[in-house]
Structure 1
Protein backbone atom coordinates (compact mmCIF):
# COMPACT_ATOMS: atom_id res chain seq x y z
CA UNK A 1 0.00 0.00 0.00
CA UNK A 2 1.09 3.53 -0.71
CA UNK A 3 0.82 4.93 2.83
CA UNK A 4 2.20 1.88 4.63
CA UNK A 5 5.38 2.49 6.67
CA UNK A 6 8.46 1.14 4.89
CA UNK A 7 10.64 0.49 7.93
CA UNK A 8 10.54 0.22 11.70
CA UNK A 9 11.42 3.88 12.29
CA UNK A 10 8.68 5.09 9.99
CA UNK A 11 6.27 2.60 11.59
CA UNK A 12 7.07 3.90 15.08
CA UNK A 13 6.53 7.51 13.98
CA UNK A 14 3.24 6.51 12.34
CA UNK A 15 2.17 4.62 15.49
CA UNK A 16 2.98 7.66 17.65
CA UNK A 17 1.07 10.06 15.38
CA UNK A 18 -1.93 7.72 15.33
CA UNK A 19 -1.93 7.45 19.13
CA UNK A 20 -1.56 11.20 19.51
CA UNK A 21 -4.46 11.77 17.11
CA UNK A 22 -6.64 9.37 19.06
CA UNK A 23 -5.73 11.04 22.36
CA UNK A 24 -6.42 14.48 20.83
CA UNK A 25 -9.87 13.33 19.73
CA UNK A 26 -10.66 12.19 23.27
CA UNK A 27 -8.95 15.01 25.19
CA UNK A 28 -8.78 17.99 22.80
CA UNK A 29 -8.27 20.71 25.39
CA UNK A 30 -5.50 18.87 27.21
CA UNK A 31 -3.78 18.01 23.92
CA UNK A 32 -4.04 21.63 22.79
CA UNK A 33 -2.36 22.87 25.98
CA UNK A 34 0.33 20.19 25.84
CA UNK A 35 1.08 20.96 22.18
CA UNK A 36 1.26 24.70 22.91
CA UNK A 37 3.64 24.01 25.80
CA UNK A 38 5.97 21.81 23.76
CA UNK A 39 5.92 24.23 20.81
CA UNK A 40 6.99 26.98 23.19
CA UNK A 41 9.75 24.78 24.62
CA UNK A 42 11.17 23.92 21.20
CA UNK A 43 10.96 27.33 19.52
CA UNK A 44 14.09 29.28 18.67
CA UNK A 45 15.40 31.27 21.62
CA UNK A 46 18.72 31.60 23.42
CA UNK A 47 19.18 27.99 22.30
CA UNK A 48 18.62 27.08 18.68
CA UNK A 49 16.03 24.51 17.61
CA UNK A 50 18.97 22.31 16.66
CA UNK A 51 20.49 22.50 20.15
CA UNK A 52 17.12 21.79 21.72
CA UNK A 53 16.66 18.65 19.59
CA UNK A 54 20.12 17.41 20.61
CA UNK A 55 19.24 17.98 24.28
CA UNK A 56 15.89 16.21 23.82
CA UNK A 57 17.61 13.24 22.18
CA UNK A 58 20.04 12.98 25.10
CA UNK A 59 17.21 13.11 27.63
CA UNK A 60 15.21 10.54 25.63
CA UNK A 61 18.17 8.17 25.69
CA UNK A 62 18.63 8.64 29.42
CA UNK A 63 14.89 8.06 29.99
CA UNK A 64 14.91 4.97 27.72
CA UNK A 65 11.88 6.33 25.83
CA UNK A 66 12.02 4.63 22.44
CA UNK A 67 9.32 6.74 20.76
CA UNK A 68 11.03 9.95 21.87
CA UNK A 69 14.44 8.59 20.83
CA UNK A 70 13.13 8.05 17.31
CA UNK A 71 11.14 11.31 17.26
CA UNK A 72 14.09 13.42 18.41
CA UNK A 73 16.56 11.62 16.16
CA UNK A 74 14.27 12.72 13.34
CA UNK A 75 14.12 16.19 14.90
CA UNK A 76 17.92 16.34 14.92
CA UNK A 77 18.08 15.36 11.26
CA UNK A 78 15.30 17.83 10.40
CA UNK A 79 17.39 20.56 12.06
CA UNK A 80 20.43 19.53 9.99
CA UNK A 81 22.41 18.02 12.84
CA UNK A 82 25.44 16.16 11.58
CA UNK A 83 25.99 12.56 12.58
CA UNK A 84 28.96 13.74 14.62
CA UNK A 85 26.77 16.19 16.59
CA UNK A 86 24.25 13.42 17.26
CA UNK A 87 27.00 11.02 18.36
CA UNK A 88 28.48 13.63 20.70
CA UNK A 89 25.07 14.16 22.34
CA UNK A 90 24.87 10.38 22.73
CA UNK A 91 28.20 10.47 24.52
CA UNK A 92 26.96 13.07 26.98
CA UNK A 93 23.82 11.03 27.63
CA UNK A 94 25.89 7.88 28.15
CA UNK A 95 28.05 9.76 30.69
CA UNK A 96 24.92 10.01 32.84
CA UNK A 97 22.93 6.95 31.74
CA UNK A 98 25.76 4.49 31.23
CA UNK A 99 25.17 1.28 29.33
CA UNK A 100 21.40 1.70 29.15
CA UNK A 101 21.74 4.97 27.21
CA UNK A 102 24.57 3.61 25.10
CA UNK A 103 22.67 0.44 24.16
CA UNK A 104 19.77 2.48 22.75
CA UNK A 105 22.21 4.81 20.99
CA UNK A 106 24.24 2.14 19.22
CA UNK A 107 21.11 0.36 18.05
CA UNK A 108 17.96 2.47 17.81
CA UNK A 109 19.53 5.86 17.07
CA UNK A 110 21.88 4.51 14.41
CA UNK A 111 19.10 2.46 12.79
CA UNK A 112 16.81 5.50 12.85
CA UNK A 113 19.43 7.72 11.22
CA UNK A 114 19.96 5.16 8.47
CA UNK A 115 16.24 4.59 7.86
CA UNK A 116 15.31 8.28 7.98
CA UNK A 117 18.11 9.15 5.56
CA UNK A 118 16.81 6.42 3.18
CA UNK A 119 13.37 8.06 3.25
CA UNK A 120 14.89 11.32 2.01
CA UNK A 121 16.15 9.67 -1.17
Structure 2
Protein backbone atom coordinates (compact mmCIF):
# COMPACT_ATOMS: atom_id res chain seq x y z
CA UNK A 1 0.00 0.00 0.00
CA UNK A 2 1.29 3.44 -0.91
CA UNK A 3 0.91 5.50 2.29
CA UNK A 4 1.35 8.80 0.44
CA UNK A 5 -1.61 8.04 -1.82
CA UNK A 6 -3.68 6.68 1.09
CA UNK A 7 -3.07 9.91 2.93
CA UNK A 8 -4.17 11.93 -0.10
CA UNK A 9 -7.43 9.96 -0.55
CA UNK A 10 -8.20 10.17 3.16
CA UNK A 11 -7.14 13.83 3.16
CA UNK A 12 -9.47 14.58 0.25
CA UNK A 13 -12.40 12.99 2.11
CA UNK A 14 -11.53 14.96 5.26
CA UNK A 15 -11.10 18.15 3.24
CA UNK A 16 -14.57 17.74 1.73
CA UNK A 17 -16.16 17.03 5.13
CA UNK A 18 -14.46 20.07 6.64
CA UNK A 19 -15.58 22.22 3.73
CA UNK A 20 -19.19 21.08 3.92
CA UNK A 21 -19.08 21.69 7.69
CA UNK A 22 -17.90 25.27 7.21
CA UNK A 23 -20.45 25.84 4.44
CA UNK A 24 -23.22 24.46 6.69
CA UNK A 25 -22.31 26.95 9.41
CA UNK A 26 -22.49 29.84 6.95
CA UNK A 27 -25.58 28.77 4.99
CA UNK A 28 -27.42 26.22 7.12
CA UNK A 29 -30.72 26.42 5.25
CA UNK A 30 -29.05 25.76 1.90
CA UNK A 31 -26.92 22.92 3.28
CA UNK A 32 -29.93 21.35 5.01
CA UNK A 33 -32.00 21.41 1.83
CA UNK A 34 -29.12 20.14 -0.31
CA UNK A 35 -28.51 17.27 2.13
CA UNK A 36 -32.23 16.42 2.23
CA UNK A 37 -32.36 16.44 -1.57
CA UNK A 38 -29.30 14.20 -1.98
CA UNK A 39 -30.49 11.88 0.80
CA UNK A 40 -33.77 11.46 -1.11
CA UNK A 41 -31.92 10.90 -4.39
CA UNK A 42 -29.71 8.18 -2.92
CA UNK A 43 -32.44 6.44 -0.89
CA UNK A 44 -33.40 2.87 -1.72
CA UNK A 45 -36.10 2.81 -4.38
CA UNK A 46 -36.59 1.10 -7.73
CA UNK A 47 -32.79 1.33 -7.92
CA UNK A 48 -30.73 0.03 -5.02
CA UNK A 49 -28.39 2.31 -3.08
CA UNK A 50 -25.50 0.41 -4.65
CA UNK A 51 -26.80 1.01 -8.17
CA UNK A 52 -27.23 4.70 -7.41
CA UNK A 53 -23.65 4.95 -6.13
CA UNK A 54 -22.38 3.22 -9.27
CA UNK A 55 -24.31 5.71 -11.42
CA UNK A 56 -22.94 8.62 -9.37
CA UNK A 57 -19.41 7.31 -9.78
CA UNK A 58 -19.88 7.15 -13.56
CA UNK A 59 -21.21 10.71 -13.64
CA UNK A 60 -18.34 11.89 -11.44
CA UNK A 61 -15.84 10.43 -13.88
CA UNK A 62 -17.56 11.91 -16.93
CA UNK A 63 -17.69 15.29 -15.16
CA UNK A 64 -14.02 14.95 -14.10
CA UNK A 65 -14.92 15.76 -10.49
CA UNK A 66 -12.16 14.25 -8.35
CA UNK A 67 -13.85 14.86 -4.98
CA UNK A 68 -17.04 13.17 -6.16
CA UNK A 69 -15.05 10.34 -7.74
CA UNK A 70 -13.39 9.62 -4.40
CA UNK A 71 -16.63 10.10 -2.45
CA UNK A 72 -18.68 7.83 -4.72
CA UNK A 73 -15.97 5.17 -5.01
CA UNK A 74 -16.20 5.01 -1.22
CA UNK A 75 -20.00 5.01 -1.49
CA UNK A 76 -19.86 2.04 -3.87
CA UNK A 77 -17.65 0.14 -1.44
CA UNK A 78 -19.88 1.11 1.50
CA UNK A 79 -22.90 -0.29 -0.38
CA UNK A 80 -21.11 -3.58 -1.09
CA UNK A 81 -20.14 -3.08 -4.73
CA UNK A 82 -17.41 -5.41 -5.92
CA UNK A 83 -14.29 -4.18 -7.67
CA UNK A 84 -15.64 -5.72 -10.88
CA UNK A 85 -18.94 -3.80 -10.58
CA UNK A 86 -17.07 -0.56 -9.89
CA UNK A 87 -14.70 -1.02 -12.82
CA UNK A 88 -17.57 -1.91 -15.17
CA UNK A 89 -19.40 1.27 -14.16
CA UNK A 90 -16.15 3.15 -14.82
CA UNK A 91 -15.85 1.50 -18.22
CA UNK A 92 -19.35 2.71 -19.15
CA UNK A 93 -18.34 6.21 -18.03
CA UNK A 94 -15.21 5.97 -20.19
CA UNK A 95 -17.32 4.88 -23.17
CA UNK A 96 -19.34 8.05 -22.65
CA UNK A 97 -16.65 10.40 -21.33
CA UNK A 98 -13.70 9.18 -23.36
CA UNK A 99 -10.09 9.46 -22.33
CA UNK A 100 -10.69 11.81 -19.41
CA UNK A 101 -12.96 9.29 -17.66
CA UNK A 102 -10.57 6.46 -18.48
CA UNK A 103 -7.59 8.36 -17.09
CA UNK A 104 -9.42 8.88 -13.78
CA UNK A 105 -10.44 5.20 -13.75
CA UNK A 106 -6.93 3.85 -14.20
CA UNK A 107 -5.47 6.24 -11.63
CA UNK A 108 -7.77 7.74 -9.01
CA UNK A 109 -10.46 5.03 -8.84
CA UNK A 110 -7.91 2.23 -8.64
CA UNK A 111 -6.01 4.13 -5.92
CA UNK A 112 -9.27 4.54 -4.00
CA UNK A 113 -10.08 0.84 -4.37
CA UNK A 114 -6.67 -0.19 -3.05
CA UNK A 115 -6.74 2.19 -0.14
CA UNK A 116 -10.37 2.36 0.89
CA UNK A 117 -11.00 -1.40 0.66
CA UNK A 118 -8.67 -1.95 3.60
CA UNK A 119 -11.04 0.14 5.73
CA UNK A 120 -13.97 -2.18 4.99
Normalised TM-score (structure 1) = 0.93
Partners of 1:49 and 1:91 lie apart in 2 by: 20
Number of residue pairs matched by the alignment = 115
Which aligned segments of 4 or more residues in structure 1 are displaced greater than 6 angstroms?
A: none
Q: Which residue of 2 aligns with 1:3?
A: none
Partners of 1:32 and 1:74 lie apart in 2 by: 22
Q: Say whether the 8 Å CA contact 1:49–1:79 is kept in structure 2.
A: yes
Q: Which runs of 5+ in 2 are unaligned?
A: 1-5
Q: Which residue of 2 aligns with 1:88?
A: 88
Matched, 1:38 2:9: no
Q: Which residue of 1 aligns with 2:15?
A: 15
CA deviation string 1:83-106 (max 9, x = no partner): 000010011000110100000010
Matched ranges for 1:1-121 at <5 A: 7-120=7-120
Q: Say whether the 8 Å CA contact 1:69–1:109 is kept in structure 2.
A: yes
Q: Which runs of 5+ in 1 are unaligned?
A: 1-5
Normalised TM-score (structure 2) = 0.94
